[in-house]
Amino acid sequence: HESTVADLAWDWQLPVVLVVPVKLGAIGQAVANIALAKQSRLYVKGIVLSCVQPCSPEEIEAWAAPDLMRSLTGIPLLGVLPHLADPTDRSQLVAAASQLALERFFEVSPV
């Protein structure tokens, strides 16, 4: 049996965040991965949507339906990462991170 990242998270009791690309099939991907995480007894702190290409709020709603995703998974949405033209640009990274509810990640877990 090869160890996986899920095994490591379980062994070390690490909370995890699921990052879901905003594209067709995002909802199904999120539901399936959350189910797998729960089966692996992982504590999922939240979901982050990631725009793999420039996308409008309407496209995010159509492809990822954040409210539906939250209701189907029972996991809070921590935010949406916009597409970054230059992912090495620190100012873009800071601006993107400031849009996420990262404080939720540091809340005490029920483990």
Q: Per residue in 87-110, pLDDT tens?
A: 899 999 999 999 898 888 777 655
Residue range 18-29: average pLDDT? Answer: 96
Burial class of 38 by CB neighbour count within 10 A (0 to 12, 13 to 18, 19+): middle
> What class does CATH assign to 5-105?
alpha beta
Tens-place pLDDT, residues 26-38: 999 999 999 999 9
In angstroms, the CA 48 to CA 97 distance is 11
The model scores a pTM over 0.95: no
Q: What is the pLDDT of residue 82?
A: 94
105 neighbors 17 (Cβ within 8 angstroms): yes
Q: What is the pLDDT of residue 110?
A: 57
Q: What is the pLDDT of residue 103?
A: 82
